């Protein structure tokens, strides 16, 4: 897989916050932003998979007191 350049124009205050978050993790701003985007993409794909599983098995998995526990992994 190759890489591509993505250029962003962001507010100075946001950049300062990103620098702070990245520094706490010992990362560059670029690595921190890329990691955050990758995590968000995973969360969306995981939620879609859970929703599709519920559709396949029926709504009992989503009902309180149903036979199945819905895995949410902190996804709203």
pLDDT value of position 66: 54
Write out the two tokens for 5.
Answer: 């350049």
pLDDT value of position 18: 95
Cα 21 off chain centre by: 16
pLDDT value of position 14: 95
pLDDT averaged over 10-residue windows placed end to end, the chain, 76 residues: 85 96 95 90 88 81 55 57
Residues 66 and 60: beta-carbon distance below 8 Å: yes
Distance CA 32, CA 53 (A): 32
Residues 49 and 57: beta-carbon distance below 8 Å: no
């Amino acid at each position: 897989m190759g890489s591509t350049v993505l250029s962003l124009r962001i507010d100075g205050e946001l950049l300062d916050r990103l620098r702070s978050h990245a520094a706490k993790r010992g990362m560059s701003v670029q690595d921190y932003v890329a990691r955050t985007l990758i995590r968000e993409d995973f969360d969306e794909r995981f939620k879609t998979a859970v929703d599709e599983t519920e559709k396949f098995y029926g709504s009992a998995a989503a009902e309180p007191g149903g036979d199945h526990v819905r895995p949410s992994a902190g996804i709203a």
